[in-house]
Structure 1
Amino acid sequence: MTSTVRRAGAFAILATLTLAVPLFDPVTAAPVAAAVLLAALAITDGPLFDLFAYPDDYEDGRLYGLVTFVLAASVLGLLSVMSSMSTAVFVGTVLLVGYGNFAAAVTHHWTDNTASHAAAFCVGGTVAAVAGHTITRTLADAPIVSPLPEIVFLAVAGALLAALLRDILILYDDPIVMLAVGFLCWLLAELVPGLGAAEIAVATVVTIAVGYVSYAVGAASVAGMLTGILLGLLTIVLGGYSWFAVLMSFFAIGSLSTKFRYDEKVDRGVAQENDGARGSSNVLGNAAVALVAVLGYAASTADLQLLGEPNPELFLFAFTGSLATAMSDTLSSEVGGVFDTPRLITTLEPVEPGTDGGVTWQGEVAGLLGAAVVAGLSYVVFPDVGLVGAMIVVVAGFVGMTVDSLLGATIEGTIVGNQGVNFLATLAGAITGGFLVFVVAVI
């Protein structure tokens, strides 16, 4: 057994101590956390130090990895006492991170395939989180308020986010991962509607299958695959398959457009890096606003009293407007990049292909067609989107695409990067869609 596996196993056992909270009570469990924290600060060498130490800990002679792990768990534990976060979410989150890391470490001992490591983490973390949630309710002699499908959904969503963050961050940055997963599961526990076993099973299988195919065909990296699966799962559960269909239309058509005359774009220096495989930053840059719109829609339809008297339709058009922008921008860039004589959108002066803010008439037409595709699909799958609504989506997509070009010509590369521009452009498309539908409703 390698030191990495032993360390991960030790942290998993440590995570199991969180079951002392429902078994006794938070006041009794607090001294346990304090004792572990003091021990972590006091131990500077020896077998226990070697068991819990990360590589960087040896340089400082302190178990900082263990200290931050305990502190992060303590923060979640405190929230479970002082807020609406349930003890089950707290325990499930800590066990998810602890046992997910252990499963990934064991798999890493057998294979160097990063996708296998991510899959092992998700499986191990999901099983541990479901077990932690259920055991917590049992030890506390409380009814399992959330039905099992909802518990599984929270566990799967948390595991996907954790695996994604582990891929983006350093592998032993567990405190950030734990806190992020805890807050996500806390939010989803408030928003998630009643789910049946079949619904959560189908949603999980569909999103994992789509994500794996995107990875297998080279359309997404491991991080991009995890991000896509998480976004897809949340979209299906919180919005529905209609929302998922619109989201997937962007990913599918966008990926195909990336491969359009790819060798020629490589020669021109305008091709998507990593052989066209989209990473997490690219996926989030284009779809983060859409995800916020889905969350807003779920909050507006739930009895949370968080948004006053919100109009769910505004979030629907923010969602479609942001994705129309993402589709327009992607197609205009991928198609327009193979044509000569692009012009800078701010001055109309000729520029080299690939210049930020450079546009071609072919790219503009492709972008409008992309917005029209999202609008047409939205018209078909959303009863609330009529002909006027579809026109609003097209306008929102065009406005967002234009904002992307303007930002590219003015601040990209100096103030914000490409993904930041994508985010701001999709935000502009979302605001335009929501504003226009509000104006139409008032008129």
Structure 2
Amino acid sequence: MQSTLRRAGAFAAVGTLALAAPVLDVAAFAPFAAVALVAAFLVTEGPLFEVFARPGDHQDGRLNGLAGFALAAAALAILVAAVDMPVSLFVTTVLVLSYGNLGKQLVATVSDDPFLGTAGFVLGGSLGGLAGQLGVVAVTELAPAYPLFVFLASAAALVAALFREVLFERDDPLVMLSTGLLLWLFDALSGPVGAVEIGAALALTVALGYVSYALKTASVAGMLSGVLLSLLVIIFGGFGWFAVLMSFFAIGALSTKFKYDDKLNRGVAEENEGARGTSNVLGNAAVAVVSVVGFAASGWFSVDAVVFQYAFAGSMAAALSDTLSSEIGGLYDNPRLITTFRRVEPGTDGGVTWQGELAGLVGAGIVAVIAMLLLSDVTTPLGGVVVFFGGLAGMTADSLLGATIEGDRIGNEAVNFTATLVGAVVSTGVALFVLG
């Protein structure tokens, strides 16, 4: 354990070289290129080797982990010079990964709980990323925008933690490059961020993460996905958008846990005790995320922002409608295949019950009402009806796909994604046609 913590501290020290980037300017890659050269060819044994060596490095006789980490940092630094990536984002990315891993290893000395380890990574990475941006402010003319700095550091830490959760430690170079590019996108999309806004956003998303994990409604990766998506929705859309998203996350999660033992006995329960993973979260919410990103970027294109509000609300109405239809409908006997109305066994893809369909209609209605009350462009009863029909269309599409191609051809997550896409397209199309 001590060797792992020592290695994390050593990697953090190397990552701190990123603070020299504002001074080195176009040569910001040089320190990391030098570290990569030393790690790959010069240090093959001895005390320094032991400090940085990961288990596989001993077999190869070189510091592959350190070399990959340093090369990824060097590549990211080249983007600063080549395509004008802000140097503050480079520094943030490197320090998030460096100090996030150190935070995780510090927690590991007192607890092996995966949730606490992930929390340690996010906290350590966020603090490291924030410190990096403040360091850049100290030596450059970058205007201090503290709430924005907090958002970018937190978002980068969540992205890196999620990638680390679904990949492997040896994939840190990929994690660093991916995090850096996404952070660049987040920065470009961000408008003015207020202190109260980011404070409330972090409080809400942290609470969401804790509750989802404590109630076992999501895996660690699923929890990270939900927290990250919620943070992005609040910053890029607003708290009304977050309320719509939460209607799906909260009600959907509770419906999954509802009479779980009965569902288990009937063979229709979700795996992992109903804890949803990243693929499930993204399958249901990917269209919503694209919608809120499109909303934030609508000023770049000649596209009315109202399109993205209806797409977002319609996709969430479809997601909640489908979830309630499946979770409630699975408790009742005699489901019928939606394409032929032939009776099938409970849990059969494409099988529906009238109770499940009714629950799905209620789910679509809940999202429609929340959207009508809280989304600025969905403010009339007619707007709510448009969202409702989008949800109904998505739920029906899910059942049709389940009855025809789900299983051998595509999986459940792909079906969920398609259903939410149908909900978004129908809501948007009807809104443009009916509301002009």
TM-score band (shorter)? over 0.9
Separation in 2 of the partners of 1:84 and 1:388? 46
Separation in 1 of the partners of 2:101 and 2:247? 34
Q: Which residue of 2 aligns with 1:121?
A: 121
CA drift at 1:426: 0.9
Q: Which residue of 1 aligns with 2:410?
A: 416
From 224, 248, 266, the equivalent of 2:264 is: 266
Separation in 1 of the partners of 2:368 and 2:22? 50
SS of residue in 2 equivalent to 1:187: helix
Alignment of structure 1 residues 372-387 onto 2, 5 Å: 372-385=365-378, 386-387=380-381
Percent identical: 53
From 274, 287, 299, the equivalent of 2:285 is: 287
Separation in 2 of the partners of 1:81 and 1:46? 36
Deviations for 1:290-332, whole angstroms, at most 9, x for unmatched residues? 111111111114xxx3x2x111000000000100010011001
Contact 1:107–1:116 under 8 Å retained in 2? yes
Separation in 2 of the partners of 1:58 and 1:407? 50
CA drift at 1:252: 1.3
Alignment of structure 1 residues 126-141 onto 2, 5 Å: 126-139=126-139, 141=140
Amino acid at match of 2:158: L
CA drift at 1:13: 0.8
Q: Which residue of 1 aligns with 2:387?
A: 393
- The unaligned stretches of length 5 or more in structure 2 are none
Deviations for 1:264-313, whole angstroms, at most 9, x for unmatched residues? 10101111222222222221211111111111111114xxx3x2x11100
Separation in 1 of the partners of 2:176 and 2:251? 34
Separation in 1 of the partners of 2:401 and 2:57? 43
From 257, 275, 293, the equivalent of 2:273 is: 275
Separation in 2 of the partners of 1:41 and 1:71? 10
Alignment of structure 1 residues 256-405 onto 2, 5 Å: 256-301=254-299, 305=300, 307=301, 309-385=302-378, 386-405=380-399
Separation in 2 of the partners of 1:326 and 1:3? 46
Matched, 1:52 2:52: yes
Contact 1:297–1:315 under 8 Å retained in 2? yes
SS of residue in 2 equivalent to 1:432: helix
Deviations for 1:377-401, whole angstroms, at most 9, x for unmatched residues? 1111124221221111111111111
Separation in 1 of the partners of 2:347 and 2:171? 36
Change (3 A) 1:54 1:347: farther
Separation in 2 of the partners of 1:198 and 1:376? 27
Amino acid at match of 1:175: P
272-281 vs 50-59, greater mean Cα deviation: 50-59
- The unaligned stretches of length 5 or more in structure 1 are none
Change (3 A) 1:52 1:414: farther
Q: Which residue of 2 aligns with 1:14?
A: 14
CA drift at 1:131: 0.9
Change (3 A) 1:268 1:172: same
SS of residue in 2 equivalent to 1:110: coil
Q: Which residue of 2 aligns with 1:34?
A: 33
SS of residue in 2 equivalent to 1:200: helix
Separation in 1 of the partners of 2:51 and 2:419? 48
Separation in 1 of the partners of 2:170 and 2:353? 46
Q: Which residue of 2 aligns with 1:67?
A: 67
Q: Which residue of 2 aligns with 1:214?
A: 212
CA drift at 1:209: 1.2
CA drift at 1:177: 1.8
| Count of residues in correspondence between the two structures | 434
Contact 1:54–1:172 under 8 Å retained in 2? no
Q: Which residue of 2 aligns with 1:87?
A: 87
Separation in 1 of the partners of 2:191 and 2:25? 29
Amino acid at match of 1:397: G
Q: Which residue of 1 aligns with 2:241?
A: 243
SS of residue in 2 equivalent to 1:266: helix
113-122 vs 29-38, greater mean Cα deviation: 29-38
Separation in 2 of the partners of 1:430 and 1:133? 37
Change (3 A) 1:121 1:390: same
101-110 vs 276-285, greater mean Cα deviation: 276-285
CA drift at 1:405: 1.6
Contact 1:408–1:421 under 8 Å retained in 2? yes
CA drift at 1:81: 1.6
Contact 2:152–2:183 under 8 Å retained in 1? yes
Separation in 1 of the partners of 2:145 and 2:29? 29
CA drift at 1:162: 1.4
Contact 2:325–2:356 under 8 Å retained in 1? yes
Alignment of structure 1 residues 60-209 onto 2, 5 Å: 60-139=60-139, 141-144=140-143, 146-209=144-207
SS of residue in 1 equivalent to 2:169: coil
SS of residue in 1 equivalent to 2:109: helix
Separation in 2 of the partners of 1:406 and 1:48? 61
CA drift at 1:72: 1.7
Separation in 2 of the partners of 1:84 and 1:241? 32
SS of residue in 1 equivalent to 2:297: helix
Separation in 2 of the partners of 1:77 and 1:424? 38
402-411 vs 257-266, greater mean Cα deviation: 402-411
Separation in 2 of the partners of 1:328 and 1:67? 49
Normalising by structure 2, we get a TM-score of 0.95
Deviations for 1:336-382, whole angstroms, at most 9, x for unmatched residues? 10111212223332221111222122211211111111111111112
